[in-house]
């Protein structure tokens, strides 16, 4: 049994330090991309407060396809450039959206979602997929979340590249 989530949820710096170390440890010896994405989604869900969805979309044949996640059942396929995830895919840039309802083309998988953070996952110049975090709170994600999640995906990239 793994039980990592004991960090004070109010100490964001400590949360990301401990989350990074847990993710690094649990994925270090495992070559299977889906197993590593599944554990990453579970760890993020355990560590980060105030989320209603946390998971992955994988790049398959030029579109995003739903991968391992925690939260309610979600839309399965997202076209390049569509919504927040498809924009992250097309631009390869992190999307930190304070109010998803103000984002043109936002795809409402869960009506509770108010803010969203999407981080592209790359390995050796190839886009593997995106990490998608949704929160029921407006402007839930700040610069520390952007930096912390970018670091997490830098570690995970080679371990989900297949």
* Short-list 39, 27, 95, 97, CA closest to 64: 95
Please answer whether residues 70 and 55 qualify as being in contact, where contact means their C-beta atoms are separated by less than 8 angstroms.
Answer: yes
Q: Does 84 bind ligand SME (CB under 6 A)?
A: yes
Please answer whether residues 150 and 19 qualify as being in contact, where contact means their C-beta atoms are separated by less than 8 angstroms.
Answer: no
Q: Does 59 bind ligand SME (CB under 6 A)?
A: no
Site string for ligand SME, 5-44 (x = CB under 6 A): ----------------------------------------
Which residue stretch of 17-25, 36-44, 105-113, 143-151 sits at the interface with ligand SME (rule: CB under 6 A)?
A: 105-113
- The least distance separating ligand SME from the CB of residue 50, rounded to whole angstroms, comes to 15
Q: Does 79 bind ligand SME (CB under 6 A)?
A: no
Query: What is the β-pairing status of strands 126-135 and 115-123?
Result: antiparallel
Q: What is the DSSP string of 77-94?
A: EEETTSHHHHHHHHH-S-
Q: How far apart are the first and last CA of the chain?
A: 25
- The least distance separating ligand SME from the CB of residue 11, rounded to whole angstroms, comes to 27
Strand partners, 127: 122
Q: Does 65 bind ligand SME (CB under 6 A)?
A: no
Whole-number Å distance between alpha carbons of 119 and 61: 19
- The least distance separating ligand SME from the CB of residue 69, rounded to whole angstroms, comes to 7
Site string for ligand SME, 118-137 (x = CB under 6 A): --------------x-x---
Token pair 């981080």 is at which residue? 119
In the complex, the residues that contact ligand SME under the rule CB under 6 A are: 53, 74-75, 78, 83-86, 106-107, 109, 113, 116, 132, 134
């Amino acid at each position: 049994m793994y039980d990592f989530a004991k960090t004070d949820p109010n100490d964001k710096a400590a949360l990301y330090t401990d989350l990074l170390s847990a993710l690094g440890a649990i994925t270090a010896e495992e070559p299977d991309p889906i197993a590593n994405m599944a554990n990453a989604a579970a760890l993020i869900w355990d560590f980060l407060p105030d989320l209603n969805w946390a998971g992955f979309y994988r790049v398959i044949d030029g579109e995003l396809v739903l991968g391992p996640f925690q939260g309610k059942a979600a839309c399965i396929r997202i076209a390049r450039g569509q919504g927040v995830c498809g924009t992250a895919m097309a631009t390869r840039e992190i999307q930190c959206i304070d109010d998803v309802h103000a984002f043109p083309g936002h795809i409402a998988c869960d009506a509770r979602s108010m803010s969203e953070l999407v981080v592209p996952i790359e390995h050796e110049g190839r886009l593997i997929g995106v990490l998608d975090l949704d929160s029921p709170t407006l402007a839930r994600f700040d610069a520390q979340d952007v930096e912390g999640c970018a670091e997490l995906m830098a570690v995970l990239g080679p371990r989900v590249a297949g």
